[in-house]
Chain A
Amino acid sequence: MSGTPKIRLRGLTKRFNGKPVLDGVDLDVAAGEGMVILGGSGSGKSVTIKCILGLIRPDAGTVEIDGRDVLSMPRREREAVNDRIGMLFQNAALFDSLPVWENVCFKLLAQKRITRSRARDKAAEVLAQVGLAPSVGDLSPAELSGGMQKRVGLARAIAAEPDIIFFDEPTTGLDPIMGAVIDGLIVDVVQRLGATAVSITHDMASARRIGTTAAMLHKGSIIWTGPAASLGETGNPMVDQFARGEREGPIQMELRR
Chain B
Amino acid sequence: MQHLLNLVALLGRLVLAGCRQVGGVTLFALEGLSHLVRPPFYPRLLGRAFLEIAYFSLPVVALTAVFTGMVLALQSYSGFSRFGAESAIANVVVLSITRELGPVLAGLMVAGRIGAAFAAEIGTMRVTDQIDALTTLSTNPMKYLVAPRLAAGIVAMPLLVVVADILGVMGGWLIGTTKLGFTSASYLTSTLNFMQAGDVVSGLVKAAVFGFVIALMGCWSGYTSRGGAQGVGAATTGAVVAASILILALDYVLTAMFFGL
Residues of A within 8 A of B (CB): 50, 53-55, 79, 82-83, 85-87, 89-91, 93-97, 106-107, 110-112, 156
Contact = CB atoms under 8 A, between A and B. Distances in A.
A55 B135 contact: yes
Contact of B133 (A83, A85, A87, A112): A87
A119 B15 CA distance: 51
Main secondary structure of the interface of A (DSSP, over half): loop
Contact of B138 (A89, A111, A156): A111
B137 A110 contact: yes
Nearest to B137: A107
Contacts, number: 48
Contacts of B133: 87, 89, 93-95
Given A55-B135, A94-B133, A106-B139, 4 more contacts: A53-B135, A82-B136, A89-B133, A95-B125
A87 B136 contact: yes
A13 to B, nearest CB: 21
Interface of B: 40, 121, 125, 128-130, 132-133, 135-139, 144
Nearest to B135: A55
Nearest to A56: B132
Nearest to A97: B121
Closest A-B pairs by Cβ, 5 of them: A93-B129, A93-B133, A87-B136, A107-B137, A110-B139
A85 B132 CA distance: 13
A68 to B, nearest CB: 18
A218 to B, nearest CB: 25
B128 A93 contact: yes
Residue of A94, A96, A106, A110 contacting most chain B CB atoms (<10 Å): A110
A187 B128 CA distance: 26
Contact of A83 (B125, B128, B138): B138
A93 B139 contact: no
B135 A82 contact: yes
Contacts of A91: 128-129
A86 B132 CA distance: 12
B132 A50 contact: yes
A156 B139 CA distance: 14
A90 B136 CA distance: 14
10 contacts: A50-B132, A53-B132, A55-B136, A93-B129, A95-B130, A97-B121, A107-B139, A110-B40, A110-B144, A156-B137
A93 B135 contact: no
A250 B244 CA distance: 56
A53 B136 contact: yes
